[in-house]
Amino acid sequence: MRIALGSDHAGFRYKELVKAHLAALGHEVVDCGTHSTDPVDYPRFIRPAAEKVARGECDRAVVFGGSGNGEAMTANRIKGVRCALCWNLESARFGRRHNDANVLSLGERLLGEEQMLMIVDEWLSTPFEGGRHVERLKMLDEP
């Protein structure tokens, strides 16, 4: 899979961990920044990652911040993006299975490293089950 990553300064460390983890699993990673812990405005880095998914340049994206809330809100403003803010394995599983989430948002200040990597793996490996959920997703694209 080709996976875009984006973070603000508060999510930088986890972005770097996930970048190495995904590369070790054989995924192609597109790093949209930020590239340090220097304070930045998160939309400058989250929006490009989400847009890569919306345009089909990447299969999925993972975005990071302190809580992940602002990052999820920013990503979800892009038509065609379904970003799930996840905090445990179940939320990651349901985000994929029921909502076909193509972007994952994680909060570095709220998750331990091991838990965060497990969430990423769960989200990547869970298929969308389709069925009745397809109609709900179509409604998201209606004005």
Q: Tell me: the pLDDT tens digits for 27-42?
A: 999 999 999 999 999 9
List the catalytic residues: 71, 98
The reported pLDDT for the residue numbered 130 is 80
pLDDT in tens, 71-81: 999 999 999 99
Q: Which two tokens stand for residue 13?
A: 């460390």
Cβ proximity of 126 and 97 under 8 Å: yes
Q: Supply the pLDDT for residue 31.
A: 98
Mean pLDDT across the chain, nearest whole number?
Answer: 95
Whether 137 has a pLDDT exceeding 70, the answer reads: no
Residues 142 and 98: beta-carbon distance below 8 Å: no
Q: What percent of the chain has pLDDT over 70?
A: 91
2-7 β-sheet, strand order: 28-31, 2-7, 60-65, 103-107, 83-85
In this predicted structure, the answer to whether residue 56 has a pLDDT above a threshold of 90 is yes
